[in-house]
Amino acid sequence: MTSRGTSRAPLLLITPAFAVVFVLAAYSLFWLIQLSLTDLTFGQPFDQGVPVGLENFRWLLFDPSSTFWPAARLTGIYVLGTLVPELVLGLGIALLLNRQMRLRSVYTAALIIPIVLMPAMVGMIARLYFSHDGLINFGIETLAGVKLNWGGRELALMAVILVDIWEWTPFFILILLAGLQTLPVEAYEAAKVDGASNWQAFRHITLPMLLPLILTALVLRFMDVLRIFDVIFAMFGGGPGTATTTLPLYIYRTTMLAEDVGRGSAASVMLIVMIVASTLLLVRLRQRVMFQA
């Protein structure tokens, strides 16, 4: 086989799978856009939908009775409140595990456990932990003598953020630890000879060389955290009130509870646009960093 034929072989192998995924995604997106342009009650046949043009989007974005923007703001808080701590903690723990230490493989294997658990199960267990007489309040009461109302409007969002941090910080740890173990040792040896401190080596060697991998992990996690539904729904169902109603929960409430398929579909389209636009920005930033490196 020629070199040209060899280079085409991987593309030919993944083409069937890619074609199936693309067709299913395109078909689903087509129907989602169709539904977003109609007035349809949940449970009615599709052909009974009344075309309303962009009315659902107008209501969603500009009507005073719409709560789309508060849900979007809450989603932004949730994304920042989870991604930033997960990245910082993940990088710090990865740096610790990158040192020569006993039982490092055991610690690394234990970190996989939160990731492989079913999100719905994590949410149900977390709901018990964050209940008034749960394990979290037991620890707080033991140390500070008070109990917190994690199910109230003030702390419900903080509770789901803490659960997400616990569940997905290992994702950053494993990826960044793998990246740290591939960095060339020669650069650190040269820096040590020149008298560089550990902080200087981290700032001028580790961080710049690891930055493309950090951005890659951020892109992957960002796409996932924007559409998280299971844990929040299992813990509080979007409540109390709208305290944990992120955009995926808003879409569920609009479509399933309010039984408004058109507005729920319009909200789904807006969420897809947000995910795609934000992801493209992060990917472009990553490409710029890699080009400069």
Confidence of residue 2 (pLDDT cuts 50, 70, 90): low
Tens of pLDDT, residues 194-214 = 888 888 888 888 888 898 899
Any alpha helices (H) in the chain, and if so which ranges?
Answer: 3-36, 55-62, 68-97, 104-110, 113-116, 119-129, 135-144, 156-180, 185-193, 198-201, 207-225, 230-235, 247-252, 261-292
Instruction: Indicate if the pLDDT at residue 133 is higher than 60.
Output: yes
Residue 38 phi, psi dihedral angles, 5° rounding: -130, 160
DSSP conformation class of 181: T
Nearest C-alpha neighbor of 111 from the set 90, 126, 92: 90
pLDDT at 223: 87
Confidence of residue 140 (pLDDT cuts 50, 70, 90): very high
Q: What would the mean pLDDT of 136-153 be, rounded to a whole number?
A: 91
Confidence of residue 32 (pLDDT cuts 50, 70, 90): very high
Nearest C-alpha neighbor of 203 from the set 57, 276, 127, 95: 95
Is 43-292 assigned to CATH 1.10.3720.10? yes
Q: What would the mean pLDDT of 220-249 be, rounded to a whole number?
A: 92
Confidence of residue 291 (pLDDT cuts 50, 70, 90): low
Tens of pLDDT, residues 40-65 = 998 888 888 899 999 999 999 999 99
Instruction: Indicate if the pLDDT at residue 234 is higher than 90.
Output: yes
Residue with tokens 């560089």: 196
What residue segments make up the domains of the chain, in order of their start?
A: 43-292
Confidence of residue 5 (pLDDT cuts 50, 70, 90): low
Tens of pLDDT, residues 94-111 = 998 888 777 777 888 888
pLDDT at 3: 55
For residues 235 and 124, what is the distance between their CA atoms, to the nearest angstrom?
6
Q: What would the mean pLDDT of 179-195 be, rounded to a whole number?
A: 86
Q: What would the mean pLDDT of 147-165 be, rounded to a whole number?
A: 94
Name the token pair of 202.
């981290």
Instruction: Indicate if the pLDDT at residue 263 is higher than 90.
Output: yes
Nearest C-alpha neighbor of 248 from the set 262, 232, 261: 232
pTM of the model: 0.89
pLDDT at 1: 47
Nearest C-alpha neighbor of 269 from the set 27, 37, 63, 49: 37
Confidence of residue 292 (pLDDT cuts 50, 70, 90): low
pLDDT at 269: 95
**What is the average pLDDT score of the chain?**
89
pLDDT at 236: 93
Q: What would the mean pLDDT of 279-286 be, rounded to a whole number?
A: 84
pLDDT at 43: 84
Length of the chain: 293
DSSP conformation class of 204: I
